[in-house]
Amino acid sequence: MRRKTSLGIALACIAIAVLAARPAPTPGPIARDFEAYWAAGATWSTHADPYGRAIWNAQRMVPGVNARRDELLPFVGPPATLPLFGALARLPYRAAATLWLFALALSTLALVAVVVLASARAPRTFNFLAACALALAFGPITSDLALGQLALPAFLGAALVTLCAVRPVSGAAAACLALAQPNASLGLVSQLGRNRATLALAAGAVAMYALGTLALGPAWPIAYARTLAAHASAERLSAIQLTPAAIAHGFGAAPVVADIAGIACAILAVAAALAIALRATRSFPRFAAFSALVPFAAGFVHEHDLVVAYAGAAWCGLRTRGTARTIALAGTLLAAVDWLGLAQRPTGVAQSALLGLAVFAAFGALGETMQTRDWAVLLPAFGALFVTAAWIAAHNPAPVWPDALGAFHRAPGATIAALWAGEQRRSGLFAAVPAWAALRSLSLLGCALLACAIYRHSTSDRTA
């Protein structure tokens, strides 16, 4: 099938998904995660602790928040981001959220441009349009946009480091942006050893420390590390976590066994990254592969954090051939669908199916022409998997925070981490449900296949 036809199919599916197959709206404020950013900025501006329960005083005033119960959403961003969110908190919530979402939309376009420039042998407008279609249908990116997540601009910063490291100021600024969301920056480990990239990362880290010092004083790294540890512990086995440990717990493993499984997966991910580093000589595919492996090594991974897989998906779409391309397409489809979302939002199944088809078509539009036999074999296979997953999800519905909270109230003396753990427990998110674990494991399998495809392509290039 011709690439232009594939792109047309992708854009048509996206249009139908957005305009005619929208799921039933959920209660709550727009850009739900931005609620925590805005409230943290407002709390910090009053010299209160944005990492403590004082943040609820601002959150309860956000339009759409149910102030008659505790549905506090913690803030866990680095202190360096507080001046930005403090400035946004000077605006009413809806105005600030609209401005933030506009910034995220620009970040998406910039991320697509960076990935195409770093991936294509001869960047063209058509490649950019096809990569945009892939981004618009890519579940983690749509989640970032819907939630107002900082992960999207942070991953843009990480991708920019691979291109801008030769320019000291630009490279340092990009690294600083990447460090605003630690998971988004982990793929930059692949750039260590490149002198200019290493210097850019060091300069970015110094800038982050300086900004954090201005916000909370020079000792902030110690307090911030304790905050992260407390929240990671409170949420580590929740159904909203896509880590190997949380998935193992979902299959019924005891917490200790789940932690051991998580450590084992992290070790395997590091070994895979080392193998890829020995094969991938170019900086961007190495970064894309390392980023795809991040969910196996990070201790805190949500659906929107899988934006780190987009670089690998787009790069593979533009560069891979043969068997590596088939593996990459499978990985892209698995990473692009919000599988647990099928169980959480049953009215969104049709939209997810359309966006999955759009991902399939957009991937075909990116690189070498996809043969009719590929459509005839791979598309039905994906369709069968999707229908099976949707059936499993329909028979094992998953709760959504905060909709399942009811009239929840926590003891006044509880820490914010304990309060957050209590909210998830009350919502039913700590239940060990194998069906939910199976759905989440598909996303991790997709990330693994993308890393495998990059390794295979790099190996074939070296032996050609």
Mean pLDDT of 153-165: 92
> What pLDDT digit, counting tens, does each position of 241-271 carry?
999 999 999 999 999 999 999 999 999 999 9
Average pLDDT, the chain: 92
Residue tagged 């999955």 (tokens): 356
Helix, strand, coil percentages, rounded to 5, for the chain: 75, 0, 25
What pLDDT score does 97 carry? 96
What is the per-residue burial (b if ≥16 Cβ within 10 Å, else e) of 362-371? bbbbbbeebe
Tell me the C-alpha distance between 400 and 110, whole Å.
31
Contact 349, 390 (CB under 8 A): yes
Tell me the C-alpha distance between 161 and 332, whole Å.
23
Distance of CA 99 to the CA centre of its chain: 21
Q: How many domains is the chain partitioned into structurally?
A: 1
What is the number of residues in the chain? 464
Residue 373 — pLDDT band, cuts 50, 70, 90?
low
DSSP per position, 347-358: GGHHHHHHHHHH
Tell me the C-alpha distance between 341 and 345, whole Å.
6
What pLDDT score does 464 carry? 41
Give the least confident one: 176-190, 308-322, 367-381, 384-398. 367-381
3-state DSSP assignment of residue 88? helix
Mean pLDDT of 46-62: 94
Domain span including residue 416: 3-463
Give me 62's structure tokens: 């956000």
Name the most confidently modeled range: 22-36, 61-75, 137-151, 274-288: 137-151
Orientation of helix 322-336 relative to helix 139-147, angle to 10°: 30
Q: In the chain, what's the furthest Cα-to-Cα distance?
A: 66
> Number of H helices and number of E strands within the chain?
22, 0
What pLDDT score does 463 carry? 45
Give me 65's structure tokens: 């928040």
Tell me the C-alpha distance between 276 and 114, whole Å.
22
For residue 282, is pLDDT > 90?
Answer: no
For residue 374, is pLDDT > 90?
Answer: no
> What pLDDT digit, counting tens, does each position of 70-124 carry?
889 999 999 999 999 999 999 999 999 999 999 999 999 999 999 999 987 767 8
DSSP code of residue 371: P
> What pLDDT digit, counting tens, does each position of 431-448 carry?
999 999 999 999 999 999
Residue 170 — pLDDT band, cuts 50, 70, 90?
confident
At residue 463, what are phi and psi to the nearest 5 degrees? -95, -10
Higher pLDDT, 99 or 194: 99
